[in-house]
Amino acid sequence: MDDVLREALEPVLRDLARAGHVAPVFDSTDWMSDDEYAATMMWSSDGTGSSVSVRRSAPLVERVVQAADGVQEWAIEGELWSAGRTNWPPCPRHPANHPLEATLVRGAAVWVCPTDQAEIAAIGEA
Ligand SMILES: [Zn+2]
């Protein structure tokens, strides 16, 4: 995998592991074939595939948010959907309602509540 992508994925994969979820299997397919982006596919054990991409020229914090978005989508649509759970990472303020949202806040990559924008945790520290 591209280092630009690996570096961006590292914090969100840490959060995923801490929550007890199995990490996706990445393959080396750069499906975008666009020099501006680093991209790859993520696969679940059940064969569900999802894509993730980051803009090469973006600062690391922005790439972390882009990567977190992709991994979250993979997690929600793949592993968790089949398990009947669709909220990772769960919002501690509204655990039954929605997952947190990966956002850039004052130059940091954080998980926020999508309803009241409360900052819950840094991505990689959730
Ligand atoms: Zn919330």
Q: Does residue 8 belong to any structural domain of this protein?
A: yes
What is d(CA 52, CA 41) in angstroms, rounded to the nearest whole number? 6
CA dihedral 76, 22, 38, 11 (to 10 degrees): 90
Q: Does residue 103 belong to any structural domain of this protein?
A: no
Question: Mind listing the pLDDT tens digit for each residue in 66-90?
Answer: 999 999 999 888 766 666 666 899 9
What is d(CA 67, CA 54) in angstroms, rounded to the nearest whole number? 6
Cis peptide before 89 (omega within 30 of 0): yes
Residue 105 CA to ligand 1 center (angstroms) comes to 16
Q: Is the pLDDT of residue 29 over 90?
A: no
14-28, 44-58, 81-95, 99-113: lowest mean pLDDT where? 81-95
Mean pLDDT to the nearest integer, 31-59:
90
Q: Does residue 125 belong to any structural domain of this protein?
A: no
Q: Does residue 118 belong to any structural domain of this protein?
A: no
pLDDT score for 68: 98
pLDDT score for 80: 63
Place of tokens 């596919």: 41
Residue type for position 33: S
Residue 92 CA to ligand 1 center (angstroms) comes to 7
- Domain range for 81 is 3-89
Number of domains the chain contains: 1
